Chain A
Amino acid sequence: MSFQISDKTYETDEEGYLANLSDWNPEVAEFMAKEDDCDLSDPHWEVINFLREYYEEYQIAPAVRVLTKAIGKKLGKDKGNSKYLYELFPYGPAKQACKYAGLPKPTGCV
């Protein structure tokens, strides 16, 4: 599977996750979000950027508590919880935000 932005083609897996992490750019996130009728606001970008930084360092998406803690630090303690993350990413922060960030889908019993 694949999608196209301007002239460039992006390969994806069956569920629309980017096949190559290095293909990612902000336009990719915007494009994917639009497909889901989701407008990316600053808090969305905080999450996406944190996911990318964390992945860069650890080669895995952060655990939910690592993510909520980081977002709480950046956006205020009242937002450092998964309820807030689900408001941003209703399909589930782990899966939907990872997709927009160009990361592979988390596997396992999650």
Chain B
Amino acid sequence: MAKAEFDTPQLKGIPVIPHLQPGAMAHSRPFVAKAEHQEPLGFPGELVDDWKTKAIDKMGELLTKYRALPVFLDACVKCGACTDKCHYYLGTADPKNMPVARQDLLRKVYRRYFTFAGKHFPKLVGAVELSEEVIEDWYRYYHQCSECRRCSVYCPYGIDTAEITMAGREILAHIGIGQKYSNEIIGKVHKIGNNLGLPRPALEDTLEGLEEEVEEDLGVKIRYPVDEKGADVLLVTPSADFFAEPHVDGLIGYGKVFHQAGISWTLSSYASEAANFGIFIGNYENMQKVAMRIRQAALDLGVKRIVVGECGHAWRVAYSFWNTLIGPFDFLDPKYPVPQHVCEFTYDLLQKGALKLDKAANDDKVVTFHDSCNVSRGSRMGDFPGGQFVIPREIIKASCNHYVDMAAETIHENTFCCGGGGGLLTDDLTELRVKGAVPRMEALKRVIDEDGVTHMAAICAICKSQFTKVLPFFGMGMDMIISVHQLVGDALVLGAEH
């Protein structure tokens, strides 16, 4: 295991906009997908011969298909509002990680081939030919954007950088240069049903083990069922919830909530994944194919509701895209939101008085909450604006006595990415992940020092894994990061009557 060959940035206690260091991250590029990772997704196995023509054709197709894309490429006036808003720029000081500069890598080629001025007077408008050098920059820097969309909050034109990154990655994959991490994972979902490649017998064995563990701990039999036809609720959750810590404590918490509420539920071995990396690589067909498994499982199991576990981009895909991707959901019970986030589910039960929580169970903790980007900026919860900020916090506050928010410019819609989102949660990008975590680490450090925060809760599998990995780089404990439903599960009074 290669040791980290970079310096971990020092936390400064206050946000500092770094001096530019051109090329500081030019060496950062993730492993390229091999043919075995590309072909099952419908992409060519290696760089195609006529890559230049194919890339421009693909760009042309995307410009027609996604009508926002040409608007985003045309609208930028170089005002500079986005420049210091990206966690990767703040953490790496590489000017190409300023959102506007990263967009320009695609924009300059777009101008050359698709605008009048760029075709006839390229030098006047900064238009350039597509070249190997440009392709190399796309691959490096479109894998230094986590598609978190913080910059778009500050853009006066609402340019969504994530859409440009997705287009860049989509073009690259189509000429044979896909990213190994994301594409290998999508292939596993197509083949086995989840990102891990966890087959049904292993899933069943894992869940049986959890039932035993919970019963040993609490003396109460709580079920973690899979493939149970006729259950009311299908829970789709990131497969990391089965596999990793602290994720699994969130899964244990969901089970306790279902148990106490007396609502029958099931997981599915066919749709054993909420995550949908199709969105990360900007590929509609793969995103749809991954999502379709969930519709199929819901139909096969005959459930009335679909609840989505703690996964950031899964919730964005579910909330914002499921309806057109895999709808209509006329076979589900219209009394409940389709889809429903597990936080909405728990919040609803709390509102009805159906759960009793003993906050003292978490008295050993002072908790803060990390808003995950795809939940904060790509979706909503509940039936009121800002529900995605209020509902998780209300659940946490109902579960513990000591809660503190981080600085206002780093939470809610201003939240900083954990540094590992958007398909970048891979060891070949460790330097980027550590440096990109700096803004969140600064904000966390402040509430640790000033308010004695001991734990940070999150509702995203990527955030949880990323923090587990990067917290120790900054001298903080990896077990500071916890699942929101771990807090709920630990505080829940089982067997209480309401």
Contact = CB atoms under 8 A, between A and B. Distances in A.
Interface stretch (B167-175, B191-199, B347-355, B405-413): B191-199
B284 interface: no
A42 interface: no
B201 A110 contact: no
Contacts of B184: 107
Contact of A91 (B1, B185, B311): B1
B278 interface: no
Nearest to A68: B245
Contact of B240 (A16, A65, A99, A110): A110
Interface of B is mostly: helix
Nearest to A96: B1
B193 to A, nearest CB: 12
Contacts of A59: 197, 199, 202
Given A15-B427, A58-B199, A96-B1, A64 B205 contact: no
Given A15-B427, A64-B244, A108 B209 contact: no
A78 interface: no
Give the dominant DSSP class at A's interface: loop
Given A14-B31, A99-B1, A107 B202 contact: no
Contacts of B180: 14
Contacts of B266: none
B1 A110 contact: no
Q: Which of B197, B199, B461 counts the most A-chain CB atoms under 10 A from its CB? A: B197
Contacts of A96: 1
A108 to B, nearest CB: 3
Contact of B428 (A15, A58, A63, A82): A15
Contacts of B195: 107-109
A66 interface: yes
A98 to B, nearest CB: 11
Contacts of B239: 108-109
Contact of B462 (A16, A86, A109): A109
Chain B contact-residue range equals 35 or more
A69 interface: yes
A65 B196 contact: no
A64 B180 CA distance: 24
B188 interface: yes
Interface in B266-322: 275, 311
B417 to A, nearest CB: 14
Contact of A63 (B238, B242, B311): B242
A18 B209 CA distance: 29
Interface string A22-53: 00000000000000100000000000000000
Interface in B44-77: none
B206 interface: yes
Contact of A60 (B185, B197, B210, B465): B197
A80 B243 CA distance: 16
A58 B240 contact: no
B136 interface: no
A29 B204 CA distance: 30
B202 to A, nearest CB: 4
A62 B201 CA distance: 12
- The 6 A-B pairs with the shortest beta carbon distances in the complex, nearest first, are A108-B195, A109-B461, A58-B202, A91-B1, A109-B240, A110-B244
19 contacts: A14-B428, A15-B428, A57-B201, A58-B201, A59-B197, A63-B244, A64-B243, A65-B213, A66-B206, A69-B209, A69-B213, A94-B244, A106-B196, A107-B181, A108-B194, A109-B195, A109-B240, A109-B311, A109-B465
Given A65-B245, A108-B243, A109-B239, 14 more contacts: A14-B31, A15-B427, A15-B428, A59-B199, A60-B197, A60-B202, A64-B248, A65-B206, A65-B209, A69-B209, A69-B213, A82-B245, A109-B244, A110-B196
